[in-house]
Structure 1
């Protein structure tokens, strides 16, 4: 009796197996993901597919015909989608099958496989990837079940463990660190220097505190205005820095300047030196925006990326303690999926042997059951069905055990 002629596979490249320069040419842009899924889904040998492409990973979740080779699928996909030959990059891809493939996805959605353990953004990215696959009808019975089970894993891990409780990115950690430092301040004035994603994230993170008053400064005032309007704040140019620094309790700076834009002399000119007011300056720039000797001034605390890194490490220590709990949830959900997967994979065997075993059950138990009371008939019928199901499972395992 034949088994199902398909297999579950994941092929991928991630931050664990490659450098960013290796992954960059293999990325699938968000705007092109639907087209990519459509191309992949139509390749010979591909029955179902989902493409997951983030800054840290590019992965292909595939249900393939049994004779199809994952490497050939990847070569064909990149050739058709990007006119790109990736034979030299194949050795950087990992390939996992069946249980290992499902477990990998569950670890990814749980944040256990992430660069920063417990990150929450990956859940949304996986949902977007799955949704894109569904939109072009590349997902089918196996992928639907796999990803829905994965989303249950992600939800359970984050609700039942501490995995997702902390700040789960460098920018998120920067905001958390800053909040811990300014919590005691009353109605602090916050000066943001620069207009970019890092500044926008920091402002959004602090905007929940109604007591904060924002000011935005940038080399070009127009860009500062665009961001300031989102937070009902004032906009300024860098020429106004000395005056703004004198008004600010907290400074968050992140520009692309090759030299420091905040100097000790500027702080003195702002009247900050020797002031009894405590000030915090968070420097998110590389190279740094703040002269290193400013921390010699009284009542000024300088925070930079090294402080953020240490804060991340401290936060990760707490998160790492939750990994065994997360892995226990993953294992339980994985067993559930693989029980279903095994029945679908070996459905022809179950159907064939099942008919035979059921005929034997009726032949052997039928005459006996007729002589029993209704209560005993029910009990014997139920027990005989359980017996047949256990024998059937053992038979299927015996038939399929050699397969790796």
Structure 2
């Protein structure tokens, strides 16, 4: 590789620092979450950190991840320390063990797994690819991704599409909201009155799952009354604002909540008042991060609370069947990672980067043709050999291009 290209690669470090349901509990994630209303400010704050050249922030109920490029050689976690100090005036060093970090092609591998719903709480769930697209689109609207993150995210979109269409990981229409409703159906009868707070993809999915299962006694509440009424109209129900929510709580047997509020929207006192009504109990399904409903100090046989931590425990056994589809999905992801790596090594020269990507596609195609005739061990050896061969072949045009560039400068 030419000297100037090596320096550029060293300057542009691709990193991720994140926290998810794998690395931290719900209570631990709550204090670190950045909600969707804060994301524009978060993007601007992160871009203001010295050395940062690109950033995309992915924030969902079960993960908060920052994908970024920096010209510094800092650790990803050190950059995150600076972000939280500037954004929240929060020292997260005592919480460093909750975060995971990756760099270079490992970032793309992780992002492809996320977009393919292989890293989700609900394996194969359908929402995550849309959430990744939304995170990327929002970042693009603020012009915070550059060529490296553009390339990485488009690789992830292709991987997500391939995994869903070519494996059984994404079979069916799985979602966090759908699984929460599945648990709920075991606890309450179809005639139960259900109050849903918040208007977003999760609450819309929950309402549809409930309605399709025969639960037609629904109410909707939201900070903006119009949005609650608009969603309610789809289910022949009524919509309300959050003002006067106590009256609606007193009428329902189930509360499903998922808003983007930074604090509780329903207090412990309001829950306690609802429990004073002796009508067979009260079930709360809280899908928000941070949680919407404060149940601190409240307990008893008349109250059942289901949050994302409970959902995680419920899903562990169900997800085992989906993991059988991981090997073919991993192969599809490695295809994208290999092409990204080939591009990254030559991205400073458009001609070389195009050649490198085409070489990689040819390499993968020829390996696929041989796959049935080789053992797993032989396939690995052939993969390693062909990678080295392609790199050596690319070194020839690199050498001549470097010579030509030097002559032009003279």
The change in CA–CA distance for 1:284 and 1:47 in structure 2 (over 3 A counts) is closer
Other-structure match for 2:217: 215
How far residue 331 of structure 1 moved from its aligned partner, in angstroms, is 1.3
Name the SS for the 1:343 alignment partner. Answer: coil
The change in CA–CA distance for 1:138 and 1:262 in structure 2 (over 3 A counts) is same
The change in CA–CA distance for 1:314 and 1:260 in structure 2 (over 3 A counts) is farther
Matched, 1:106 2:112: yes
Matched, 1:327 2:330: yes
- What is the rounded CA distance, in whole Å, between the counterparts of 1:31 and 1:234 in structure 2? 26
The partner residue of 2:30 within 24, 29, 42 is 24
Name the SS for the 2:217 alignment partner. Answer: strand
1:317-356 CA distance string (max 9 Å, x none) = 43222222221211112112211122226x59x79xxxxx
The change in CA–CA distance for 1:38 and 1:260 in structure 2 (over 3 A counts) is same
Name the SS for the 1:111 alignment partner. Answer: coil
Other-structure match for 2:407: none
Matched, 1:205 2:209: yes
The partner residue of 1:337 within 340, 345, 363 is 340
How far residue 208 of structure 1 moved from its aligned partner, in angstroms, is 4.9
Retained in 2: the 8 A contact 1:260–1:289?
A: no
Other-structure match for 1:231: 235
How far residue 92 of structure 1 moved from its aligned partner, in angstroms, is 2.8
Name the SS for the 1:28 alignment partner. Answer: coil
Unaligned runs of 5+ in 1: 181-187, 242-251, 265-281, 293-304, 352-387, 399-404
Mapping of residues 62-81 of structure 1, within 5 Å: 62-81=68-87
Other-structure match for 1:46: 52
Unaligned runs of 5+ in 2: 240-246, 257-270, 287-294, 354-388, 400-410
RMSD: 4.7
Other-structure match for 1:61: 67
Retained in 1: the 8 A contact 2:219–2:232?
A: no
Other-structure match for 1:95: 101
The partner residue of 2:13 within 1, 7, 15 is 7
Retained in 2: the 8 A contact 1:167–1:176?
A: no
- What is the rounded CA distance, in whole Å, between the counterparts of 1:164 and 1:390 in structure 2? 35
The partner residue of 2:174 within 168, 173, 198 is 168
Name the SS for the 1:344 alignment partner. Answer: coil
Name the SS for the 1:116 alignment partner. Answer: coil
In the superposition, the TM-score normalised over structure 2's length comes to 0.61
In the superposition, the TM-score normalised over structure 1's length comes to 0.62
Structure with larger Rg: 1
Q: Which moved more, 1:142-151 or 1:323-332?
A: 323-332
Retained in 1: the 8 A contact 2:53–2:69?
A: yes
Retained in 1: the 8 A contact 2:13–2:73?
A: no
The change in CA–CA distance for 1:151 and 1:233 in structure 2 (over 3 A counts) is same
Name the SS for the 1:214 alignment partner. Answer: coil
Name the SS for the 1:115 alignment partner. Answer: coil
Q: Which moved more, 1:195-204 or 1:90-99?
A: 195-204
Other-structure match for 1:131: 137
- What is the rounded CA distance, in whole Å, between the counterparts of 2:61 and 2:280 in structure 1? 35
Matched, 1:84 2:86: no
Other-structure match for 2:358: none
Q: Count residues in correspondence.
A: 314
